[in-house]
Structure 1
């Protein structure tokens, strides 16, 4: 399935796929292919923990609902007057924090779901830019001019050690807790990484959640649209 939207001078096409893999009995990944706006989300349930599929579904549904609600009313930044780019970053951050709260409250109310959690990567195109929200060790990549660039940083114990130079790259390959997360979406105080960048023609952004047992991804590709012949002003460049 794929769908496209006009975002400024760019046409952004979205497509997504998830696969259960060969190890687990059920799929714990969830993804959002946009219907109303240029928003895509990938969430990977914590494998081996209770109800990872529930956590990822709550995350995707909550972020989707928050964006649809604020599309009608606008994000609430009272009492602060923020620049438009900061408003969009806050909008993304609030969406993920709401999802985290819903996961935590659901787990607290149902003992069978205690400890559930998930990663999330969300990408939203607006104002000639794209905005990324990130929690955990799923990733967002940009593929452009034959180069692949990772746009997020893993919230993992391994990456924390590498960043603090407690491990070398070679030691990281054999690190016994490579899949331990330092920042899953499952606690009442979780923080969110947000960023923004400018799309460009013939570039592709991919939100990925992949392990040895399963994979899930949503891809957004950008192409430059020519202005119509009747346009009185040229399209803006990115």
Structure 2
């Protein structure tokens, strides 16, 4: 299902009442409203700079979380935990190298970033609870996961605003649902730790991808690809 990013939000209350009846564990419904306080006061370059700074900061946080988790919980899992399972966002058709990125339309890059950020909404919500319940997890790790959850939502709004500015009337792509909660809550400790290690690895990979895409899109929009 696709939704117009610039349509009014007045219908959302009725829609949410209906969607709450249909909501199940692995699907989250998000409003597509774009009333972002102060965003219209920013130039497009300032909006890019804000989004890039936030994306880079978030990527750095996810690096720290992944490294701390593996150091404290995944040593015994070794190479396998860091390099085996695929990410739930793997189904998204996003460019993987600079040549592919340059050949991708701007609106497709922006919609890809939106799909990635939306695909992490539900997992991050659950990760906050799982890390809070994780025996031996530091308070610092929990605070970082909470901050990544908040930054992901803020970044999602900023990228939507950029898309509306660059391509008014663009439609949002679908995003993949996360189906990994059972493994994260497994009774087997190794299974839980393996699942969390993989999730944090994927989270870092995706946040780094968004930060990279944003820099390239800014270069193309603001500097006519002369960076």
How high is the TM-score relative to the length of structure 1? 0.27
Structure holding more helix per residue? 2
Report 1 or 2 for greater relative contact order, CA contacts < 8 Å, sequence distance ≥ 6. Answer: 2
Structure holding more strand per residue? 1
